[in-house]
Amino acid sequence: MSDEERRGVTAFVPGHITAFFSAHRTDDRDTTGSRGAGVTLSNGVEVTVDPTSDRRVTLDGRRVDVAPVDGVLDELGVEAAVEATTTLPIGAGFGVSGAFALGTALAANAAAACTHTENELVSVAHRAEVAAGTGLGDVVAQARGGVPVRLEPGAPGHGALDGIPARSRVEYVTFGDLSTETVLSGDTTRLSRAGERALGGLLDEPTLPRLMAESRRFAADAGLLTERVADAVAAVSEVGGEASMAMLGETVFALGTGLTDAGYDPEVCHTYPAGASLVDLAE
């Protein structure tokens, strides 16, 4: 492979809205993670990695400090210009930090001609997210795609995943951000109890409507609902739709045309059938 071919490798990582979760911490970042479920999205993060001696990380053209991205580059031993672009809102419950970390891992591995497997790269990104406190389950969900159910917490080889065999249009509106780090660094006992209950309910009836119902119950039980979110969820229910709150962001997501039918002007995407992957390379 020539030096030129190694440059500028791009990966796409789907967004991920967590519908509900429980937090599981150990002394080991590989076994730390979350149980729960959510939807991966056709709107995601595109990450291009170009090895250079000078590390430079940008998001939509602006210099950013993203701890999980630095963690990935450090563990892989790669110095690079990392450019990410996304249409997703930041800090609003779409797993942008996890996507940024996972995309960096996949693209850096290819760009720097490392020879890690996919499980190893997912583990690198998962550990970096856990270490940064920015997420517990987005990376493994984004590596899988579809409608992921996190049965057991942790990186590949430790965690366990399943999925709901369904596809759907997904709409969302964002009113503001919530700090995942703040919520995750606080007492998550009540939240985790609600999350375990929601997962049990979903596994009794693994369908998209049940996922949304368990997510609504979780948001209420965990005490996370804001007034704007509660109003939008109620408005979608009133027109017969299915909506809930994204964990963790002041974001409402709905199946089908739920938010449109309720009079909102949402962003529109779909569940994404594939996990994170390199963008097609000419070969």
Chain residues binding a second copy by CB under 8 A are 106, 109-110, 115-119, 121, 145-146, 149, 156-157, 160, 162-169, 203, 205-207, 255-256, 270, 273-275, 277-278, 280-281, 283
CB of residue 10 vs a second copy: minimum separation in angstroms? 11
Q: For residue 86, how many other CB atoms are within 10 A of its CB? A: 20
CB of residue 280 vs a second copy: minimum separation in angstroms? 6
Give the whole-angstrom CA distance, residue 121 versus residue 142: 12
For the chain, report the end-to-end CA distance as a whole number of angstroms. Answer: 11
Give the whole-angstrom CA distance, residue 67 versus residue 224: 25
CB of residue 210 vs a second copy: minimum separation in angstroms? 8
Distances (CA, A) of 281 to 7, 195, 278: 11, 40, 8
Give the whole-angstrom CA distance, residue 34 versus residue 267: 27
Could you give the 3-state DSSP secondary structure of residue 281? Answer: coil
Residue 269 · residue 163 · CB < 8 Å: no
> Which residue, 25 or 169, is less far from a second copy as judged by CB?
169
> Which residue, 69 or 248, is less far from a second copy as judged by CB?
69
CB of residue 91 vs a second copy: minimum separation in angstroms? 28
> Which residue, 203 or 220, is less far from a second copy as judged by CB?
203
> Which residue, 243 or 248, is less far from a second copy as judged by CB?
243
> Which residue, 87 or 168, is less far from a second copy as judged by CB?
168
> Which residue, 144 or 184, is less far from a second copy as judged by CB?
144
Give the whole-angstrom CA distance, residue 212 versus residue 52: 44
Q: For residue 56, what are its two tokens?
A: 């430079």
CB of residue 105 vs a second copy: minimum separation in angstroms? 9
Q: For residue 15, how many other CB atoms are within 10 A of its CB? A: 29
